[in-house]
Structure 1
Amino acid sequence: MDMLLLRLDAPLMSFGGVLVDQINPTDRFPGKSLLAGLLANALGWDHRDAQRTARLQDRLRYAARWDVEPLPFVDYHTVDLGQEHLVDTGWTTRGKAEKRAGGSAKKETHQRWRHYLANGIATVALTLIDISQPPSLDELEFALRRPARPLFLGRKTCLPAAPILLKRYQAENLREALCRIPMADPGPGRHTPARIPACWPPEEGSGAYEDDVYDLRDWRNNLHRGSRRLMFGFLEVLP
């Protein structure tokens, strides 16, 4: 199997769990929507390319492991909507005015909890199904080597500490690749876990448990749209 190996190393990462009110959670492992968005950004696609990004998301298959376990981190912040310059009108992240309805939410303090993973290093083995469609694995490899825009891992504040593309690789399957690739150098103050937590497609072998993950995105409407199954467990990585 032909694949790309990615190394996700950043002070902060966020893997886009399902948003509930003002709570922005992060999933335990990178998901399909995160990887599709990362690759689309490297290719130079934008919000007008929602259909292409959705097709890319559907074609992705991957496995991931933690070389260095991250620490959970919550960013709590508030906005006082009663300030004179914020009364009546807000602004979206896309720079458009947003009128507020009545009630206390119009002028009281808005709270938000954003969850992150701090100081972790993850390795991802990624491939594509239906290779007759663009983009090809060659195009993705080139885009990660020479990205059209700066890349980030979940949120724009989550900048990688090192190049994301590790190398092109051949293995029987994605899970086997993660067992064969040496662990990342943790560096000072970080440690490789005694047991290597990982996730992979269920058809590539059994693990500790299989579960639903909610990592599929409707890119046109910017909403989570469904679930799929992943296997979770621990890997024995060759020295």
Structure 2
Amino acid sequence: MKTLTLKLKAPLQAYGNEATFGRRTSNPYPTKSAVIGMIAAALGYDRRNSKIIDLNKLSFATRVDQPGKIMSDFQIVEYAKNANKKDKKLTYRDYLQDAIFMVAIGSENSDLINEIHYALRHPKFPLFLGRRSCPPAGPLEIEVFDNQNPLMVLQTMGWQAAEWYQKKHSNFKAEIVYDASLGSNDNFKFQLRDEVGSFDQRNRYHNYREVVSTYIPMKNETKWHAETMHDIMANI
């Protein structure tokens, strides 16, 4: 199996797990449907392209290297109930601040992974980390691995959190959520509703898939520097 990893980082990210008119919350880590949507955008697929459903076959795993803090945005929405009257409603949107995630997708079809790799480097449509208001913080950091599945790659890849975060968390355990078919099912297994059914705005829906969650300790490789003894008043 050939595996491609993406480092997802931005000031704000949002991965919907509940969508109502009044409130839209965020999953604490990237959903498979969000990543497939980003790949489909890079490949130039429109929302009703049947090829999007085929992307569900990609093996998928995500690792939380730097959990984000929830930020709620309050928006006033004005809409017309009838021709003569307008109403205003307070709505809520949740975002993840300063989060860093490692995402891995895999396939036995090496050509498909190569195609996705090229497309993410040269996207046909703009890429977003969940919502349109959440662009990536610069070009995506992408790596490709041969003969490893997404779970294997994320279990061995070094910790990707920011240096300041690593200094504050010396004994960090990262959560990995992966397709149940990828590895041991001895860990916590549950159903996640993030498999793409349709992105068509007239009939958007998602299906359930079986996933496994586990935690692995991360090695802190931050280089610690001794404090510099410096007297700013010495030359006065």
Work out whether residues 15 and 29 of structure 1, in 8 Å CA contact, stay in contact via their aligned partners in 2: yes
The alignment of Structure 1 onto Structure 2 pairs a total of residues equal to 215
Match of 2:162 in 1: 186
Match of 1:91 in 2: none
Q: How does 1:1-239 map to 2 (within 5 A)?
A: 1-49=1-49, 51-56=50-55, 58-81=56-79, 88=80, 100-101=81-82, 107-128=86-107, 131=109, 136-188=112-164, 194-203=172-181, 204-206=183-185, 208-217=187-196, 218-220=198-200, 221-237=202-218
The alpha-carbon deviation at position 171 of structure 1 amounts to 4.7
The alpha-carbon deviation at position 185 of structure 1 amounts to 4.5
SS in 1 for 2:19: coil
Unaligned runs of 5+ in 2: 222-236
Q: Tell me which amino acid in the other structure corresponds to 1:23.
A: R
Q: Distance in 2 between matches of 1:3 and 1:208?
A: 23
The alpha-carbon deviation at position 189 of structure 1 amounts to 5.8
Q: TM-score, normalised by structure 1?
A: 0.80
Q: Distance in 2 between matches of 1:101 and 1:229?
A: 44
Q: Distance in 1 between matches of 2:101 and 2:180?
A: 20
Give me the CA root mean square deviation. 2.5
Which protein has greater RCO, CA pairs closer than 8 Å, 6+ apart?
A: 1
Work out whether residues 32 and 60 of structure 1, in 8 Å CA contact, stay in contact via their aligned partners in 2: no
Match of 1:95 in 2: none
Q: Distance in 1 between matches of 2:141 and 2:175?
A: 21
Q: Distance in 1 between matches of 2:130 and 2:42?
A: 13
Q: Distance in 2 between matches of 1:48 and 1:62?
A: 22
Q: Distance in 2 between matches of 1:63 and 1:4?
A: 11
Q: Distance in 2 between matches of 1:25 and 1:207?
A: 29
Q: TM-score, normalised by structure 2?
A: 0.81
Work out whether residues 7 and 163 of structure 1, in 8 Å CA contact, stay in contact via their aligned partners in 2: no
Post-superposition Cα deviations, 1:200-235, rounded to whole Å, max 9, x if no partner, equal: 122312464111111123223442232111111202
Going from structure 1 to structure 2, the CA distance change for 1:118 and 1:222 (only over 3 Å counts) comes to: farther
Post-superposition Cα deviations, 1:60-89, rounded to whole Å, max 9, x if no partner, equal: 2111111111111111111344xxxxxx4x
Q: Distance in 1 between matches of 2:147 and 2:67?
A: 25
Unaligned runs of 5+ in 1: 82-87, 89-99
- Identical counterparts, % of pairs: 25
Going from structure 1 to structure 2, the CA distance change for 1:207 and 1:155 (only over 3 Å counts) comes to: farther
Work out whether residues 9 and 100 of structure 2, in 8 Å CA contact, stay in contact via their aligned partners in 1: yes
Q: Tell me which amino acid in the other structure corresponds to 2:213.
A: F
Q: Distance in 1 between matches of 2:193 and 2:83?
A: 33
Structure number with bigger Rg? 2
Post-superposition Cα deviations, 1:103-152, rounded to whole Å, max 9, x if no partner, equal: 9xx622222111111101000111136x39xx711110001111123211
Work out whether residues 181 and 237 of structure 1, in 8 Å CA contact, stay in contact via their aligned partners in 2: no
Q: Tell me which amino acid in the other structure corresponds to 1:229.
A: E
